Amino acid sequence: MNPRSFVCCVVVSTMLVLLQSAHARIAPDYIVPCNATTRHCLVKATQDAIPEFVKGLPHLGVPQLDPFVIDKLAIPLSGLKVTFHEGKVSGFKKCIVDDVVSELEKRHFVLQFHCNLTIKGQYEAVGKILLFPINGEGDAKIKLTNLRMKVDINTKYYKDSNGANHFGLKNYKYTFDYGDKVTFDLKNLFKESQELSNTVLVFLNENWKTVAEEFGKPIVDYAVDLAVKTIEKFFVAVPYEELINVPIPTF
């Protein structure tokens, strides 16, 4: 090969590499776009993606969801001050997807699923819970069995600075129920008495539903907000066309 054709060859192959990378898929391989917004395809695609997606995509700025960390969360209640810190929530990777609805024209997306989650961390609680005075601090472990959730998202479409289309999130709301059982394992509910701590813990578990309803919402709000923000980061990074193989509605 003479030097001129060598240079030419290098230039052409560099251009090919550049062109390819300009069109390279950003979405990881486990994202399989549906060819239609059928419930069957959307549920399967979502279910298949979850175990990998929850590991995060650091190069795209998408954080890990399983486990995810709660650095510090103050739970404001009347008569009881609870702080939860150094928390870890795990179990999202095994969530079961019950339904996915994607109405592209209406810019509406619904995700319904249920999961078993474990929340571990440190707690501090001072005040009263179900008439019991509490002054505790220590290890906390909360298990949720078949927590059911439905997240309802209004979406939008936009073009980024490179002209690529994206899904965006306008707003969302959600409903949930605590499912079959919530188990509390809270050490040292009374700093003064181990015996009283155990008695109250048994009582809290017997009344798990009331207890969960009394102080669970801030934790669930926190988790849902984090999950939605994570999906939003993914939408910012990955173009619309890599997520669904249906022409984007006019916008």
Ligand X SMILES: *[C@@H]1O[C@H](CO)[C@@H](O)[C@H](O)[C@H]1NC(C)=O
**Pick from 230, 224, 233: nearest CA to 173:** 224
Token pair for residue 66? 């399983």
Interface pick for ligand X out of 13, 14, 35, 183 (rule CB under 6 A) = 35
Q: Toward ligand X, which CB reaches closer, 32 or 164?
A: 32
CB of 181 to ligand X, least distance (A): 9
Please tell me what DSSP assigns to residue 109.
E
Span near ligand X by CB under 6 A; candidates 53-61, 68-76, 80-88, 111-119: 111-119
Asked whether 174 and 231 are in contact (CB, 8 A), the reply is no
Residue that is written with structure tokens 């916008």 in the block? 251
Q: Toward ligand X, which CB reaches closer, 55 or 148?
A: 148
146 binds ligand X (CB under 6 A): yes
237 binds ligand X (CB under 6 A): no
Pairing of strands 165-177, 181-186: unpaired
CB atoms < 10 A from the CB of 139, how many?
Answer: 13
Rg (CA), the chain: 24
CB of 1 to ligand X, least distance (A): 39
In single-letter form, the type of residue at position 80 comes to L
CB of 235 to ligand X, least distance (A): 19
Interface pick for ligand X out of 89, 114, 167, 234 (rule CB under 6 A) = 114
Whole-number Å distance between alpha carbons of 41 and 47:
10
115 binds ligand X (CB under 6 A): yes
Interface pick for ligand X out of 26, 49, 77, 96 (rule CB under 6 A) = 96
Residue that is written with structure tokens 């102080």 in the block? 215
89 binds ligand X (CB under 6 A): no
List of residues contacting ligand X (CB under 6 A): 32, 34-35, 41, 94, 96, 114-116, 145-146, 245
